[in-house]
Amino acid sequence: MKKIIFLDIFGVLATPKSGANLDEDCFAKLLEILRKTKASIVLTTSFRRSESFLSRFKKGLQDEGICQSCVFDATPDLKHIEKWNSNEELRAKEIQKYIEENDVKNYVIIDDMDLKPYLEDEININFVRCETHIGLTNERADKCFEVLK
């Protein structure tokens, strides 16, 4: 069964101290998760439609020996479909729609936004929240391993 990482970037891999760049420690944690789980990435970040971001991100993965095709998709953009109360609600609904439409069973959601109030209970157990100013840590990476057994 295919393993999926629903991945936000800012607050997970890019922190205030790294600016617009990826934090090396956080990126190393993602690489470890990818290598150990053989998961594929579905981007949830607001920059998921940016060709320049995608090419830089994929090149960063390739430079570390990770196949560029592991970033194989992005969640749908529902921003203009209806009015949303918050960015958190929008992100959660985009992820849920992707899960439903693609019959995804083995996945983890990594984000710094508080999506829990907007995710269905059976999806919430697969949510790993990072702290915006710290990003992906050993503790959060361990939780990702648990979820992606």
Going from N- to C-terminal start, the domains of the chain cover 3-147
pLDDT digits (tens, 9 = 90+) for 76-94: 988 888 788 899 999 999 9
Residue 68: its pLDDT value, please?
Answer: 63
Q: Please list the residues that pair with 129 across neighbouring strands.
A: 111
Residue 134: its pLDDT value, please?
Answer: 95
* Tally of residues, the chain: 149
Task: Tell me: pLDDT of 60 over 90.
Answer: no
pLDDT digits (tens, 9 = 90+) for 63-72: 998 886 677 8
**58 vs 42, residue with greater confidence:** 42
pLDDT digits (tens, 9 = 90+) for 103-143: 999 999 999 999 999 999 999 999 999 999 999 999 999 99
- Whole-angstrom distance, CA of residue 83 vs CA of residue 80: 7
Using the structure block, give the residue that is written with the tokens 């693609």. 102
**95 vs 83, residue with greater confidence:** 95
Tally of CB atoms within 10 A around 36 = 12
Residue 84: its pLDDT value, please?
Answer: 82
CATH class of 3-147: alpha beta
pLDDT digits (tens, 9 = 90+) for 39-57: 999 999 988 888 888 888 8
User: Measured in Å, how far apart are the chain's first and last C-alpha atoms?
Assistant: 11
Residue 114 tokens, joined: 């508080």
